[in-house]
Amino acid sequence: MAKMWFSFLIINSLLFHFSVTTRAIRNGVGLEKQICRNTVQGRYLLSDDNGFVCDALTVDPDSRCCPEVGDKFSCHGCNLLSRCCNSYEYCVSCCLNPSKTLQHQFIKMKIAKPATAGTYENVFDFCAGRCRHNSESVVHENAYLSDFHHCFSSTSKYPGANSTLLEARLNGINVVVGRQGESCDSVCKSTGQSCVPNKLLVLNQCDIMQKYMRCKGACFSSIGADQPAEVVDNAPRHLNPGACLYTRTQSMLSCDGSHQHTRRLCPCA
């Protein structure tokens, strides 16, 4: 009888130990911290892929996540019309908001212009990449057009893009319609300014040209260093008098291009 009682105690002890161990293992499940990606580069601030912005000193050293305090997807210091911000970190945070950046907007967008360039794999990569400085945020290659030079807009380069967002990218630019046969270098020089080459791409849109030129209801793709431009009314019929012309070949855009039968639309500053 004593042996049976002793065996019973041993079995119960083993079962209790197994139960405690099992609970401990189960309780440990899910305790692993989430690992965040963040913008890293800021001297004082950083933004994580959850949409929070924090001081670099308060980021969790293990998870690399910001404390979940303050506004998520904060657009502090951002112009929501142009989608441009005066801070890289808040640009990324604002861009991460699902209501402002939809998956179809970035999933097929190339990281760079070359045909061999890859596409963004996720929304954080898209926002972190788009919010960096780019050639369109500078004037004369050595100064920013505006304090709001961190932008996450994904507007199209060709007709049909939202003209309001495009015009916001012309802040600080004097858009001038030239005379027949005149280059943009000449047009801008006559106003005491210089042509800004990287803004020709913004003007190279039917929606934009129709705000400054008559276009007579027609806007055609063309090839020439004088685009964007409007064909003058007295041009030969085969040149489509009165129509506006844009180019799909960005490398053709030039400040010094001109054509005897067109008037150019020029970005001056």
Structural domain contains residue 149 = yes
Tens-binned pLDDT, residue by residue, of the chain (269 aa): 555 554 544 555 544 444 444 444 444 444 556 899 999 866 789 999 999 999 989 999 999 999 998 889 999 988 776 678 888 999 999 999 998 887 666 666 666 555 555 778 889 998 998 888 655 555 545 555 566 778 887 654 333 345 556 667 788 899 999 999 999 999 999 999 999 999 998 999 888 888 889 888 588 888 889 999 999 999 998 898 999 999 988 888 999 999 999 999 999 99
pTM above 0.75, yes or no: no
Structural domain including 217 reads: 170-268
Distances (CA, A) of 115 to 22, 109, 111, 112, 252: 55, 11, 10, 8, 17
Domain identity same for 142 and 175: no
Rg (CA), the chain: 29
Structural domain contains residue 245 = yes
Structural domain contains residue 24 = no
Structural domain contains residue 4 = no
How far, in Å, CA of 20 to CA of 173, rounded? Answer: 72
Q: How far is CA 21 from the centre of its chain?
A: 51
Structural domain contains residue 1 = no
Give bridge partners of residue 45 from the DSSP assignment: 55
Domain identity same for 245 and 198: yes
Domain identity same for 195 and 114: no
Judged on CB neighbours under 10 Å (0-12, 13-18, 19+), 269 is: middle
pLDDT value, residue 119: 77
pLDDT value, residue 97: 92
Give bridge partners of residue 221 from the DSSP assignment: 246
Domain identity same for 177 and 118: no
Domain identity same for 55 and 130: yes
Judged on CB neighbours under 10 Å (0-12, 13-18, 19+), 198 is: middle
Query: Residue 186 has which token pair?
Result: 């000449």
Domain identity same for 178 and 137: no
pLDDT value, residue 67: 95
Structural domain contains residue 209 = yes
Structural domain contains residue 23 = no
Structural domain contains residue 159 = no
Counted domains in the chain: 2
pLDDT value, residue 91: 93
Query: Residue 71 has which token pair?
Result: 């506004």
pLDDT value, residue 258: 96
Domain identity same for 193 and 261: yes
